[in-house]
Amino acid sequence: MSISGDRPGTRLATRLAFLAAGFGLASWAPLVPFAQTRLGVDEGALGLLLLCLGIGSVLAMALTGVLSARFGARPIIVLGGLLMAAVLPFLALAGDPVSLGIALLLFGAGLGSLDVAMNIHAVDVEKAAGRPLMSGFHALFSIGGFAGAAMVTGLLSLGASPLVCAVSGAVMVLVAILAAWPLLMKSKAEQDGPLFAVPRGVVLLLAGLAAATFLAEGAVLDWSALLITQTGMAPVAQAGLGYIVFSIAMTAGRLVGDRVTARLGDYRTLLWGGVIAVLGFAILLLSPLPVVAFAGFVLIGLGASNIVPVLFRRAGSQTVMPSGLAVAAITTTGYAGILVGPAGMGFVAHGLGLTAAFWIVAALVALVPVLAGVVTRDA
């Protein structure tokens, strides 16, 4: 049972948690080239090191649902955020691959714990408010990402050292978490339910759709620049525009997403969001005109923007398993999609071509409108 959930303070605390997670993760991204230079490793070894962050995140996500069921989301949010803030400076200090790998595992564990717990908290806050709030919460993660990357990039441009940048990012995360701490909802443990449950029924479908949607985001992040250069849409120097356009569209879609969902409902939000995203992929891959093809990135971002927030909401309302464990299952599966999926795309692209790999992603996203009626059916 949640206590004092429908208050401006609890909504602010949830937004601060999402902001801290996005800010902390983005504060590390611009420092990756400096880590590679400091350690003197090649791209292959760097890729394995970066995988440690994903492994730490997924392992922590799998445990956070159980811990939240026992202790509530509040302490996990605080501990996860504090761990991120504590480890971030060590990412700029690690002088050998083993040290960096351990630091990335711990940083990923903090991020994964915070990610699951803040979504569980967001579900409870939204239930207490009795109106859609999830899209706005997720928008703060995107805004935090923009702000973190911009701050670190700006500091680096001014000549600041990677350590100064990392400490600055850690301080911002720490401030946000400490400000959120006293405002977070106090939740009672789910005494009557199991502390572990195997995902089943509608939760499996929700998790699969989350993985497909996260995979689409990962595909645009990791592969859109190469697609743009291979198809001649833009020169190499401008190849990053695709992801920038996509990110802006996704953030904008989430900022208005709660009003859209309140008006359309979960079913039509999933249905039309999935249709618009698939249409965006089709325009991107079929249009011979670069300007029109770039409009495809806008549609993918807008269409996908509110799918995951709705999936989290449905996880919180289903009755097949405890909501906290369901949210953890969806978060873990979704992040597996964004971490493992783009790597799998590389194998597909090697055999069939990058365009074919993107068509496969579009086909997976098409499952969202196809199954929208099933996953939004009231139990």
Q: Domains of the chain: which residue ranges? A: 2-185, 202-375
- Collapsing DSSP to helix, strand or coil, 60 comes out as helix
| Residue found by looking up tokens 């996953």 in the block | 375
pLDDT, tens digit, for every residue of 124-177?
Answer: 898 888 888 988 998 998 888 888 878 888 898 898 999 999 999 999 999 999
- Which sign, positive or negative, has the C-alpha torsion 178, 182, 185, 186? positive
Cα 238 to Cα 76: distance, rounded to the nearest angstrom:
40
Residue 7 tokens, joined: 């208050």
pTM of the complete model: 0.80
Q: Which residues contact 268 (CB under 8 A, 6 or more apart)?
A: none
Mean pLDDT across 331-342: 74
The secondary structure of 19-38 as a DSSP string is HHHHHHHHHHGGGHHHHHHH
Q: Is residue 45 a contact partner of residue 97, using CB atoms and an 8 Å limit?
A: yes
Q: How confident is residue 312, by pLDDT bands cut at 50, 70 and 90?
A: confident
What stretch of H or E contains 3?
strand 2-3
Q: What CATH number labels 2-185?
A: 1.20.1250.20
pLDDT one-digit tens code per residue, 227-280: 888 888 877 666 667 777 888 898 899 999 999 999 999 999 999 999 999 999
Partners of 187 in the β-ladder: 2
CATH of 202-375, one of 1.20.1250.20, 2.40.110.20, 1.20.1050.10, 1.25.40.10: 1.20.1250.20
